[in-house]
Amino acid sequence: MIIVLMGYMASGKTSIGKKLAKKLNYNFLDLDDYIEEKENLSVSDVFKEKGEIYFRKQEAYYLGCLLKSEKKTVLSVGGGTPCYSGNMNIILKAENVKSLYLKASLQTLANKLLRKRAKRPLIAHIDTIERMTEFVGKHLFERVQFYNQAEIKVSIDDKAKDDVVEDIILELF
C-alpha cells in the first residue's frame, strides 16, 4: 500500500511521514525531494528556471509514476500537489493507495509557520501573526476543497507527532 500524506505547509507531512514509515516498516518518500533528484535542481530553481507550469507538469508525471509502485511507501506530497493537474483524482483513483489529510487549524498553521518562516522563502517576509494568518487563510480557502477529498482526515492540533502517528494507524488498519 502507498499512503499519500497531504496538507498545508507545516502540517507535518514530512516529519510525521517519516515516523509513520518507520513504525510501519515502509519506505518514506517526499515528492519534492524526488522531483529535485530527477530534475537535478531544487524545487525553487525549477520554478525560477523553467516556470510553475513546467514544475506542475513534472510533479503530476512523477506522482503518477510513484503511485504505480508496488512498494510499501509513505509518500509526502507538496502542499499544492493535490490542487493542480488533476492530481487529487489521480491519487483517489490509484490502486492500493490511501490518501490522508493532515488537518490543522488556521491558528496552528499560522503559529508554526511564523516560528519557522526563515526556512521557507515563500513566507520569510511575513513578520506578524496577523499577516501570517491572512496569508495561510487565503491559501487554505483555495486548497481545503482538495484536501477534504482525502479518504482519511487526521487532526494534528495540540498533538505530539507520535500521537498523530498512532491516530493514523488506527484509521488505516
120 in a known ligand binding site:
yes
Report the C-alpha gap between 19 and 85 in whole angstroms: 29
- CA-wise closest residue to 13 among 64, 84, 80, 59: 80
13 in a known ligand binding site:
yes
Q: How many C-beta atoms lie closer than 10 Å to residue 142's C-beta?
A: 11
45 in a known ligand binding site:
no
Report the C-alpha gap between 9 and 15 in whole angstroms: 12
32 in a known ligand binding site:
yes
DSSP states of 8-37: STTS-HHHHHHHHHHHHT-EEEEHHHHHHH
Looking at the chain, list the stretches that DSSP marks H as alpha helix, in order from N- to C-terminal side: 13-24, 31-39, 43-50, 52-67, 87-93, 106-116, 129-147, 161-172
Provide the 3-class DSSP secondary structure of residue 148: coil
14 in a known ligand binding site:
yes
15 in a known ligand binding site:
yes
Place of cell 517526499: 30
**Annotated binding residues for Mg(2+), as ranges?**
14
Binding residue ranges: 10-15, 32, 56, 79, 120, 143
Binding residues for substrate: 32, 56, 79, 143
Residue numbering of the annotated binding site for ATP: 10-15, 120
